[in-house]
Structure 1
Amino acid sequence: MEEKPNGTLTNGGAAAASTRSAVAEDELTVFEGKPSPLYHRLIALSLWLGAIHFLVILVITATFFLPATSAFAVFGLLIVLMAIPLNDQSKLGLKLSRYICRHVCGYFPVKLHVEDIKAFHPNQAYG
Structure 2
Amino acid sequence: MDLVKYVQEKYIETKDFPVFKSGDSITVYYEIREGAKTRTQFFKGTVIQIRGTGRTKTFTIRKMSGDVGVERVFPMNMPALQNITLDRKGKVRRARIYYFRELRGKKARVKDVAYTKK
Per the normalisation by structure 2, the TM-score is 0.22
Per the normalisation by structure 1, the TM-score is 0.21
Structure with bigger RCO (C-alpha 8 Å, 6+ apart): 1
Higher Cα Rg, which structure: 1
